[in-house]
A and B are shown apart, each in its own frame.
Chain A
């Protein structure tokens, strides 16, 4: 069965620092999809990125970047030059091509201190 582990429960950094959120996954499927979602203090859940298992290219979107490494079953998320507005809970999620479920990790609560 698939599993997502976000070992960092809570992280605090000072504004403008870089921060990396870890995500480790387990799956027996060769085709799978990884996601990151953001939940700001307002409570809604916002999609950030999707990556399929055949695309190991790292992705950069502004201050956000994602590092996908199949060798270590990790899909880490880095925020560069963090800002207070980045304060949120971030969830990593996994789905397998042969399944209809999307499983989430427990989330990492990120505090960006001014």
Chain B
């Protein structure tokens, strides 16, 4: 099984550019999450989704947008990239509610210069 797949693995953006981080899972999981990891700051929740068509804000949603048109896909969009969005982004999924363990993708290293 592929599990949770994130693309791209690395990306460099210029300030003001936009891009979409792709995340797809093949485990038929209902719950999907986007986290960002900054050095020394742990994992911060950006957005999450409890099923297709349903999304909600996490701890640090500003500057990002998400959509969940299918169970498998949960893309994260950066509209106007800023240096503060330089981070490692992780997508994760779980089958049920938050008592279930998370399956993580391998991460996307994003630099905004």
- A residues apposed to B, CB below 8 Å: 6, 9, 33, 35, 37, 43-45, 47, 50, 52, 91, 93, 95-97, 99-107
Contacts and interface: CB of A to CB of B under 8 A. Distances in A.
A19 B33 CA distance: 31
B82 interface: no
10 contacts: A6-B42, A43-B106, A47-B103, A50-B100, A95-B99, A99-B98, A101-B45, A104-B42, A104-B45, A106-B42
B56 A100 contact: yes
Contacts of A101: 45, 48, 58-59, 98
Interface residues of B, number: 27
A93 B99 CA distance: 11
Interface of B: 31, 33, 35, 40-45, 48, 50, 56, 58-59, 88, 90, 92, 97-104, 106-107
A50 B99 contact: yes
Contacts of B101: 35, 47, 50
Contacts of B106: 43-44
A1 B92 CA distance: 22
Contacts of B98: 33, 95-97, 99-102
Contacts of A45: 90, 92, 102, 104
Contacts of A9: 40
Nearest to B104: A45
Contacts of B31: 100
A6 B101 CA distance: 20
